[in-house]
Amino acid sequence: MNYLRTPLWFFRALTPAGRLGLILTLFWVFIALFGQTLAPYSINDIGGGPLFGGFSKDYWLGTDYLGRDMLTRIMAGSRYSIGLAFTAAILASAVGILLALLAAVAGRWIEEGLGRLNDALLVLPGKVLSLMIVAVFGSSLTMLVITAVFTYWPGAYRIAFALASQLRNQDYIRAAKLRGENRFCLAIREILPNMIHPMLTDFGLRFVYIVLLLSGLSFLGLGVQPPQADWGSLVRENLQGLFDGSPAILMPAIAIASLTIGVNLFIDSLQNMSPVSLIRREA
């Protein structure tokens, strides 16, 4: 079992595609955290370069419709594309899990009520629901997070409740009830730890969905508003450079694609992280 004791056991246990996905994901997380500090230019350095300039030694990813450095804009925009999506994904998963645990242990009436509410929300198209919410309440950063949470917590609830409803019938749960543990302890100490791994996988998928949702809203002009910018708004504001093949529109799109592909590759490889598979690899 020396394999499990090595510092890089997690990385080595991943498939090659999973390693690539993890590297891409960590790269963009690093850019989101430190990109604005490392950026070569000011984010609003208007007229610093040619309009829709190409790749050059001064502007590695070209310039936008105002002559601003696209590398700087993409690095700064990652804070919003990744930060907002990560926050919304955490909140959506947390709301779904907590409500699922409540439904699993609180009794038939609460389970039925939450189930009907969840079914009603799942029937509504997510993108249309998001557009309605943003159109009515505005597109502030807080409202964008709330919109994404409201759109995606029903999916998290469905997965979490399916897991919790299976676990609540296990023998160790019956034994815990016989010991006199209350419903809160059953939910938090007995059921929740045994559903964390699949819910982490679901969290990764939900993060990808929210990145695409917020990017789509920004592309339609309903997401992050100027002077702030995320990757979706960078594509929208440079749309007129599409016919010239300008890097200003291609690079933000590639950033969105590389992040979502990286997270998906990493998530797909997590199925190889079970203890059984690790033991087999070591053998």
The arithmetic mean of pLDDT across residues 109-128, rounded, is 86
As a whole number, the mean pLDDT across the chain is 85
> Tens digit of pLDDT for each residue in 192-217?
888 888 888 889 889 999 999 999 99
Q: Domains in the chain, ordered, with CATH?
A: 16-35+60-272 (1.10.3720.10)
Helices 141-167 & 126-137 angle (0-180, nearest 10): 140
- In terms of Cα–Cα distance, which of 148, 131, 141 is closest to 229? 141
> Tens digit of pLDDT for each residue in 119-174?
888 888 888 888 888 888 888 899 999 999 999 999 999 999 999 988 888 888 88
**Does 266 score more than 70 pLDDT?**
yes
> Tens digit of pLDDT for each residue in 40-78?
888 877 767 888 888 888 889 988 888 889 999 999 999
